[in-house]
Structure formats: C-alpha cells, structure tokens
Amino acid sequence: MTETKMIKAKINDIPVEVPAGTTILDAARKIHVNIPTLCKHPDLNATAGCGICIVKVKGSNKLLRSCCTDISEGMEVTTHDSEIIQVRKTVLELILSNHPDDCLHCGRNTNCELQNLAAHFVIRGVPFHTYKNSLPKDFSTGNIVLVPNKCILCGRCVDVCQNIQNVWALNFVGRGISTRIAPAGDILLADSPCVRCGQCAAHCPTGAIVEYDNTYDVWHALHDKDKYCIVQIAPAVRVAIGEAFGYEPGELLTNKLYAVLKKLGFKTVFDTNFSADVTIIEEATEFVSRFTTGGTLPLITSCCPSWVDFMEKYQIDMIDHFSTCKSPQQMMGALTKTYFAEKEGIDPKKIFMVSIMPCTAKKYEISRTKDMSASGIQDTDAVLTTRELSRMIKQSGIDFKNLPGDDPDHIMGDYSGAGTIFAATGGVMEAAIRTAYHYVTGENLKDVNVEAVRGLKGVKEGVIDIKGTKVKVAVAHGLGNVEYVLNKVKEAKLKGEEPPYHFIEVMACPGGCVGGGGQPYGVTDYLRTERAAGIYKDDVDQEIRCSHDNPMIKKLYQEYLGEPGSKKAHHLLHTHYEPKPVYIK
C-alpha cells in the first residue's frame, strides 16, 4: 500500500492531523469530541439519513453531515454551538413526532440510541404535531420481530442485510412519508429469504427489530414442578454477557454463568463447548474420511444455522459439500435427551432443554427439520440469546457481579480449548485442524494455535501442513464474504480443476458468534476483537486444547456412541439438507 496522505485541519480550534479519507466524525473523536449520531454505525456505510451529526464548516453556509464528509486540508470545523444544537434538537423532535412513546413496552428500553439522544437533548415533549404509524408487527419468523412503528428509517438493517449479509430480505419500500422497511412487496419476513441471523436487530438503533423474547417460556418451565430443566451455554456468551453488567468487554465469565444458571433453577448445567468438542470429533472424522477416500471436497462447516439456511436457499449446488454434522447446540440437545437421560434415568419427555446462545437463528434451528428431534421429541426446547439471559438475571434479583463462580455438570460440561474457540471466526476450522492432524498423524500439533484463520479479515485463506500433506482452508464470516470463496470453488469445478480449498468454514455473523445477532447491543470491530481475545484466553487457559483429548468425550464415545461416525452417532448428531425455493407465496 502506498502511504496515506495526512490531512491537517482544525476542529473547534484544535488542530488535528488524520489520514486522508477520515470523516469529520472520526477526526473529532481523535480530539475527544463526540458528535451525536443516529443513523451511522461504524460497521456500515453512511446512509446520511438522520441529519443529527451535522457540523459547521467555515466557508459553507450549509451544515454538513460529519458521518459521511471526509475532513479536508485546512478545514475549520465547529461541532457544537447553539445553532447546531438547536437544529439537532429540532431534528430529534421531528423524529420523535413520528415515534410511539412507549419506551416502557419496548425491547430497547434503557438501551436505545434514540432514547439516549432524547434524554441528552432534554426532550420533554414534542412541540409539533405527532403522527403515530400503525403498521402491523411481524412475528412470522418466531425469532426476528419487526416493529415497523418504531423504525426511524436509518437504513442500517437494510445495509446489513443486503451488503454485509447479501441476503436481501429487507429493503426500503415506498417513498416519502410512507417509506418503510419491509421484505419484497410487504410480505411476511418468514416468506422472505431472511436467514434469521439477527444482524439487523444487532445493528438497529431502536426497538424496531428485536429478537422474539422467550424468557417467559423459560420461566414457566423453571416453575413447572414436572419439568427437569437443563441448560447449555454457548461459547460466545461467556465473553459478552459481562457487558450487560458493567464488565469490560471480553471478560470471561464462564463460572459465574454456571452459578447464575443454577441459581435461576436449572437442575443441570451443561456447556455447549463440550458438544462443540463432539462436533469436532464428528466433523474431523468426516473430513479425514473425505480427504483420504476422495469424497466431495471442499468440506464446508454447518454449525451456523443462518449459513445452513442461506445455503439451502442460494447455494443449493453446494449441498454435497456440507458437513452433515449438526451444530453443537443440537448435538447437546440430542445427547441430553438420550445419553444423559438414560444414564440418569430421567424421562426425556420431562426434560426441558434450554440453550443460551449469542444467536437468533438458533431459535429457528431447534425445529429446523425432524432431524432436530433425534431423541424422539424435540431435542432443544427453548433458546435464549445473551441479551435475554441478562434480562432474566436482572429480573431474578441475583447479584451477578458478586456471585461466586461454580462448576458445570461434568458429564457434558468439561471442554477443551478447541471447543471454546467455536465462538470466533476461524475457531471451528482451527479446532477441526487440531483433531484432523491427530487423526492423520496420530500426534498432536506442536503449536496448536493456527493464526492464519484468526482475526477479522473477511476471508482468510491458509495452507495447513499435515506432515507434508497440504490442506488448503478458507474461512469466511459475514455471509456477504461467502460468494468470493464459493465462486472459486465453482470455477474450479467448471474447469475440472483441483478444488482451491479442502475445508471451508463459514459463519454468518461478522466476527463469528462473538458478533452474533443475539449478543449485547452496540457491536463494533473493537468489541468483536475484545470478545474474541477473551475466547482465545479461555483456550490458552485450558489444560486440554484438543477435542479428542477431552476425557469426557472419550467416555461419551466409549459408553454410548461407539466410534466417531458410527450409526448411532449419525442418527443423533448428523442431519441433512434440502433446497428451499424462496418467495413461494
């Protein structure tokens, strides 16, 4: 890269020097001035919709949008004066003139960018006419809820869904005052190509897109004497939930989570990291078998339900490449209602299996196909996102911060470092490599850290040397990055060439599950990095770093499943895929 030109300018009379291409907004942050924003999100293109971030630039009689105007040489910017603040306030009042005043009944109450601004600008009423929209809520997916009356048309969801995720479930519909956010032609979200990744909800500044809240289903089960409630915690939750309780981002809170879940009334606490280890055993077996017997390659990971859904809709010709392994959540569900139930002599019908996930799509996954009822009944009964769990904890009155940690139930609670890194992009790949290496060579890697697949680069490519055998891998996160990787595969196929990769990991959410659609609000690359750092620390902290070395896994296979890839394993731990035409209605 050529060196970037530096720009010298002044903001509020303070000199700044920033690289060319820096927005006024970002340049102001450098001198510790925060310009309010509403439609701009650091992950996304500026839509320039709200007009809150306006600033004065000397020599221009207009106010400019700082979120999408690059600072230029010699510019003299004023970010705050009485006129600017007055205009911002009026714009805010205009936005609120078309907003339902029902914070108290809102999914974003106390955690809403619009509400915050209204508080900061001392809005005590809208001095103009007020118009309340009366568009219907859309509950059709059962996990992503659209509340269009609360939408301020910032366009973030549209940008995320179209450009980051390449799904195009949502778009602006209509024009002018009747503009709204909706799937093509105002159909239900469930009839659109939506893959339920929840990135729209994660990026929405208001309560206009939220997860379907299942906390009361879980409370009911917990209070039901006939139910035996069991819970599992996904890897990504432990490094994010702290944000809701004032911890630094990335703080690892595994044992506190075990403790709090027990306090909430769960009789047994398992860890999805354990079933992630199971996933690796099955997937690495599948990979090594395909690799050594000339099966369909590349093998593509399947533990992200949004990605699975996306593939079934858009990449049907890739079905054969998909790993048949279920996700760790579903493996845990199936094993709980079979292996654990049998061992403990509990009627599986009485078990209420809850999983705590960073993910909205996991809510959909539990009833995706009848494979998700491998135990004979639905294997996982309810899914709570990290956000929902934090609400439940607050409701329960448990003093999370001062609560001493606890241990999980060991039969399916102990995990290896490989299981935990599932939370970050590249983690599944890295975990699988650790075990595949062992399966091929009989030894463990000397350095189990596979740096090539870590980090936030959209597509990561690497070559893994398994004692002379070169395994080519690719990792993509954010569905929009998938096309690049798959096109390479398809091109090679068309030309009859060797596949460009042997193994591909895809996670729908940018950053992987640490950046999942159900994680605490306000995700940025900074948070993704911090959360991932917490996860990698968890990995390093583990004595056992490889799934196949987890003694409880060995026990599971010895006692129950037999060989990896056995018939029983297949029945409980694997699934199948079918093409899904979109817009059937």
* Binding status of residue 332 toward ligand FES by CB under 6 A: no
* Binding status of residue 573 toward ligand FES by CB under 6 A: no
Which of another protein, ligand FES, ligand SF4, none does 544 bind, CB closer than 5 to 8 A by kind? none
* Binding status of residue 145 toward ligand SF4 by CB under 6 A: no
Which of ligand SF4, another protein, ligand FES, none does 281 bind, CB closer than 5 to 8 A by kind? none
* Binding status of residue 356 toward ligand SF4 by CB under 6 A: no
Burial of 64 (0-12, 13-18, 19+ CB in 10 A): middle
Q: 77 by DSSP, 3-state: which?
A: strand
Residue in the block written with tokens 């896994």? 553
Which of 150, 337, 488, 545 contacts ligand SF4 by CB under 6 A? 150
The alpha-carbon radius of gyration of the chain (Å, integer) is 25
Which of 509, 532, 544, 572 contacts ligand SF4 by CB under 6 A? 509
Q: Which residues contact 51 (CB under 8 A, 6 or more apart)?
A: 65, 91
Stretch of 31-39, 180-188, 211-219, 451-459 contacting ligand FES, by CB under 6 A: 31-39
Burial of 361 (0-12, 13-18, 19+ CB in 10 A): buried
The number of residues in the chain equals 585
* Binding status of residue 65 toward ligand FES by CB under 6 A: yes
Q: Are 366 and 378 in contact (CB under 8 A)?
A: yes
Which of ligand SF4, another protein, ligand FES, none does 204 bind, CB closer than 5 to 8 A by kind? ligand SF4
Query: Helix count (H) and strand count (E) of the chain?
Result: 19, 17
* Binding status of residue 53 toward ligand FES by CB under 6 A: yes
* Binding status of residue 233 toward ligand SF4 by CB under 6 A: no
User: Which 351-370 positions form the footprint of ligand FES (CB under 6 A)?
Assistant: 358
DSSP state of 58: T
**CA distance linking residue 145 with residue 143, whole number of Å:** 6
**Closest separation in Å from C-beta 131 to ligand SF4:** 14
Which of 200, 239, 300, 561 contacts ligand SF4 by CB under 6 A? 200
Q: Are 173 and 181 in contact (CB under 8 A)?
A: yes
Please state, in angstroms and as integers, the Cα–Cα distance from residue 127 to each residue in 51, 91, 93, 153, 427, following that order. 19, 12, 8, 21, 53
Which of another protein, ligand SF4, ligand FES, none does 87 bind, CB closer than 5 to 8 A by kind? another protein
Which of ligand FES, ligand SF4, another protein, none does 165 bind, CB closer than 5 to 8 A by kind? ligand SF4
* Binding status of residue 201 toward ligand FES by CB under 6 A: no
* Binding status of residue 136 toward another protein by CB under 8 A: no
Which of ligand FES, ligand SF4, another protein, none does 423 bind, CB closer than 5 to 8 A by kind? ligand FES
Write the binding mask 176 to 195 for another protein: x where contact by CB under 8 A, - elsewhere. xxxx---xxx------xx--
Beta-bridged to residue 456, according to DSSP, are none
Residue 504 has phi, psi (to 5 degrees) of: -125, 135
Q: Are 414 and 553 in contact (CB under 8 A)?
A: no
Q: Identify which of 210, 228, 196 has the alpha carbon closest to the alpha carbon of residue 363.
A: 196
> For ligand FES, how many residues bind (rule: CB under 6 A)?
24
Stretch of 107-115, 127-135, 275-283, 372-380 contacting ligand SF4, by CB under 6 A: 107-115
Q: Angle at Cα 449 formed by Cα 426 and Cα 425, nearest 5°?
A: 15
Q: Are 335 and 412 in contact (CB under 8 A)?
A: yes
Q: Which residues bind another protein (CB under 8 A)?
A: 46-52, 54, 62-63, 65, 68-70, 86-88, 90-91, 94-95, 97-98, 127-129, 131, 152-153, 155, 162, 166, 168-179, 183-185, 192-193, 313-316, 483, 579, 581-584
Q: Which residues bind ligand FES (CB under 6 A)?
A: 37-40, 48-53, 65, 67, 234-236, 272, 303-304, 327-328, 358, 422-423, 513
